[in-house]
Chains A and B, each alone.
Chain A
Amino acid sequence: MASATDQNQKPAIPELEGFSISRPPFLGYGLIASSVFGSVALLIYFGAWAATDRIENRALASDNATEIQDGEWWEDGLIFACPLH
């Protein structure tokens, strides 16, 4: 039975002459970078908010609300990274 890929058929060399994409995909890079930065910023903002709450709750629980409580390393890191907290 004959088939679509008969043995006597040869692959054509693709016609690429003159085809090039010289300009880097700045728009694509920019959009993906903005999503990455936006998502990381969002995580830092909410993470820092959560960290602040946790530290305050511990302070309240220890009946020493005025004393500055030490945070865990990740809590301190998030608060340090977030300019809004």
Chain B
Amino acid sequence: MKTKHIALLSAAALISTTACHKDKTTTDPTPASTPTSAQVIADFCTHVAAPDYTDMYNNAVTFQTAEASFYANPNDNDLNTMRASWKAMRAAYESGEGFLIGPIATQNLDPNIDTWPVEQNELDSILNSSTTLDVNYINNLQPSLKGFHPVEYLIFGTTGAATAASFTVTTTTPTGPRKKEYLHALTANMVDVVTQIKNSYVVGSSNDYATVLNTAGANPTYPTHKAALLDLVGAMSGICEEVGGNASDGKINSVYITQDPTLQESFFSNNSWNDFTDNIAGIKNVYLSTYKGSANGHSMHDLVAAKNLTLDNTIQSKLNAAINSFSTATVPFGQAVVSQRTQVSNIMNAIRDLQDVLDDGVPNNNHDLADFMNQYVTD
């Protein structure tokens, strides 16, 4: 009897000690390795947003330098440089859509540079007119007549086959030189808007948003650090909705359901897959606090892994699955919606799966990144 009691007691003791023993894989590491919410926000600004927008700006400068040379003497080398730097600028812009908060959203910078579709009829009318294309004229144009996509239309052409000769020929309507004038005016405007976007993460600039984020807890925009982090999570989830969502105007779905390649936003440059991949890469950049392989800053990943490693693993798994899904489509997007529909559908599903673990829209069901922020960020 006594042996039995001892065995039972020992078993009970063992059970209670193992039951109460913290699971080392899911609980707090030493406090020093868990960043504060303020650190995560600060490093988002310095490790993600600022370098991303600076990269976009640098490519805009490269574009403008090539355009200035092209303007003086239209040639295919400069045209190719413009195309490459346009795509590089777009890559940085699209990854920036993983954190579309602040002036880019509230000061009309996004509409002024990324409106689609292009107002084709009026663009042709302007090209066919002799109106002076000065800064004031361009500034007063509708967003659909300036920014990335009208520039894209000019440097790639409707079939992607524009050449330098397109800008010198005088026997067409509109003439080549007129297109060159419009491109010149749009370039200046585009660089101006990109500069304003870059400045939103330059401390002390007129539209400095980094300081708004870094003073979260003491300003009316973000009364708490949690509010700032949740705003970022909302942006990350929002771009998933925009790219992978099943609304008829979803970036992928609108082309998928119609099988109409002309419904792509980047149709002229055939750049859609890059756009979508960069969008999702931007989300990963925010989550891991990095940009183009730079050293990671204090990140959302650090916050989540410290308290819920399972969720962190899930988020990273879904991020990688979404990014990797793009490689299953092996033809341009406009063709894939016809000949690789299964792959395109799976890509949208992978993006929606990612959105589900960022913010499933159901509050406090202990499921996603938004729930985590609500539960564990207390300042």
Our verdict on whether A and B bind, yes or no, reads: no
B contact set with A: CB distance below 8 Å:
none
A contact set with B: CB distance below 8 Å:
none
